[in-house]
Amino acid sequence: MRRFARVETGAERCELCGAAIGERHDHLYEPAAGRLACACIACGGRFEGGGGRLVRVVTQARPIAVELDDDEWSALAVPVALAFFLRSASGVVNAYFPGPAGTTSSPLDDGVWLALSDLHAELPALAPDGQAVLVSRLAGASGAWVVSIDLCYQLAGMLRTRWRGISGGEEARAAVAAFFREVSA
- Residue 182 Cα to chain centre, angstroms: 15
Confidence bin at 109 (pLDDT 50/70/90): confident
Domain residue spans of the chain: 2-57, 61-184
Sign of CA dihedral 130, 51, 41, 15: positive
- Give the integer Cα–Cα distance in Å for 139 and 157: 21
Question: Is the model's pLDDT at 6 over the cut of 60?
Answer: no
Question: Is the model's pLDDT at 51 over the cut of 70?
Answer: no
User: Stretch 143-162: mean pLDDT, rounded?
Assistant: 93
pLDDT tens for each residue of 135-148:
999 888 889 999 99
pLDDT tens for each residue of 21-32:
988 899 999 988
Confidence bin at 124 (pLDDT 50/70/90): confident
DSSP characters over 95-124? EEEEETTEEEEEEPPTTHHHHHHHH-TTS-
pLDDT at position 132:
95
Q: Are 131 and 149 in contact (CB under 8 A)?
A: yes
Helix, strand, coil distribution of the chain in percent, nearest 5: 30, 30, 45
Q: Are 75 and 115 in contact (CB under 8 A)?
A: yes
